[in-house]
Amino acid sequence: MELLDRALEIIRTYPLCDSCLGRLFAQMGYGLENFERGRAIKTLLHMKLVDEYRKGRDVLNDLLALAKIHKPTSRFLTSLGINVDEAACYICGGLLKDVEKYAKDVLPLLEGVEFRTFEVGTTVPKDVVERESEVVKRFLITSGESVKHEINRRIGKELLKHLTGKRVDKLRPNIVVRVDLITGKASVERNPLLIEGVYLKLSRRVSQAKKFGDVKSTLWDKLVYIREVFGGKEHVIHVSGREDSDARMLGTGRPLVVEVKQPIKYDGAIPPFRDGDIIFTPIGFTNREEVRRLKEKAKTDIKLYRALVLSERPLTVEELNKIGELSGKTIIQYTPRRIKRISPRKKRVRMVYELAWRQISPRVFELYVRCQGGLYVKEFIHGDGGRTTPSVSEILNTHLEVLELDVLSVE
């Protein structure tokens, strides 16, 4: 069916404004707004019907239907002594006439926010959406777009007229403009800012996020400055794995992402941080997908640890060499007693790839463990009362205590 025939069939049943009629054919005619497309369709229908009327064809009812929503057709019928009252649009009821006006309510909300990208989201009356769906289903429309999509786009285009250097980004916008067409209220959501980096932990009294026991500070505390740089209300950290508070994180460092919530700046230099406890090196801005990848990768990362171990009894070199039996072994661990309250029955299976050791004194040795991420290394060494098996303590048949633990690399 030709476009004009389909449009006329729709108009016979439903009075539609220029925007709502044009939106049903949104995929036809590039570079046109829906109201321009709808107006053009009505103009062509007007020309066709007037021509047929003058040739004596029975198109008066079609002219009457068009005249309800098209002033030139109404004027033509008036010249014939036929007056037709204007009808409200069946779908939007006039809502789309000036949706751009909402942009002026948004602009004051953006003052003081330094952003690059935005997206517009709207709440549209439910009955408008339902009526549009009714028309689309009845006439099997496959060439249109939704009323909500049109409203979002039109408000966005109006905002761009006043926002120099900004652009619309539907995937990862800095801010989301919300307009409720039911209440007429506008609001702005400032999306989190994500900064990727790596950190070294040089102190054995610093934890990642919580203070407890002998902990004097946290990584979270040290990175408050990033929140302040971007004017955020709060911040959280997402880390690729976790080391104990009394373990140092050395080597090339551990990856993490700092999430700054509701920032007022979305761009700018990210200064590094260094004190006696922490070294943080920022890499740059990142996205939510990277946070998910970071956490998933922590489960499969290969990590190298150094431990200083004290034995309850003196050990010979021959006894220490038994440690080699654990290279390439699968280790089964139940939640350590020190964190048993969190998930007491949880079972964890991890690989130990390589082990190396060096005797320092009859009762003290240095142990290097290259293993799969997520292995409880302290428990792998001392056995945790049988909750980890096999363990170094089990192989050496002695009670072991971990005096120091360092993470040397995260591969």
Provide, for the chain, the percentages of residues in helix, strand and coil under a 3-state DSSP scheme, each rounded to the nearest 5: 35, 30, 35
Distance CA 49, CA 388 (A): 87
Residue 379 is which amino acid? E
The catalytic position among 18, 244, 275, 406 is 244
61 Cβ neighbours under 8 A, 6+ residues apart = 12
Evaluate whether 400 touches 393 at the Cβ level (below 8 Å).
yes
Evaluate whether 327 touches 369 at the Cβ level (below 8 Å).
no
Number of H helices, E strands in the chain: 14, 17
Q: Is 127 a catalytic residue?
A: no
376 known ligand binder: yes
User: How far is CA 192 from each of CA 87, 154, 168, 403, rounded to the nearest angstrom?
Assistant: 46, 26, 17, 40
Please classify residue 29 by burial: count the beta carbons closer than 10 Å to its beta carbon, then call 0-12 exposed, 13-18 middle and 19+ buried: middle
User: How far is CA 111 from each of CA 106, 115, 186, rounded to the nearest angstrom?
Assistant: 9, 10, 14
What is the Rg, in whole angstroms, of the alpha carbon atoms belonging to the chain?
A: 34
Distance CA 18, CA 33 (A): 10
**CA 58 from centre of chain:** 59
Element holding 227 (H helix, E strand)? helix 224-229
Residue 337 structure tokens = 């007693």
Distance CA 217, CA 213 (A): 11
Evaluate whether 208 touches 278 at the Cβ level (below 8 Å).
no
Evaluate whether 89 touches 17 at the Cβ level (below 8 Å).
yes
Distance CA 199, CA 252 (A): 8
305 known ligand binder: yes
Evaluate whether 14 touches 91 at the Cβ level (below 8 Å).
yes
Evaluate whether 326 touches 357 at the Cβ level (below 8 Å).
no
Residues of the binding site: 305, 376
Residues of the binding site for substrate: 305, 376
Catalytic positions, written as ranges:
244
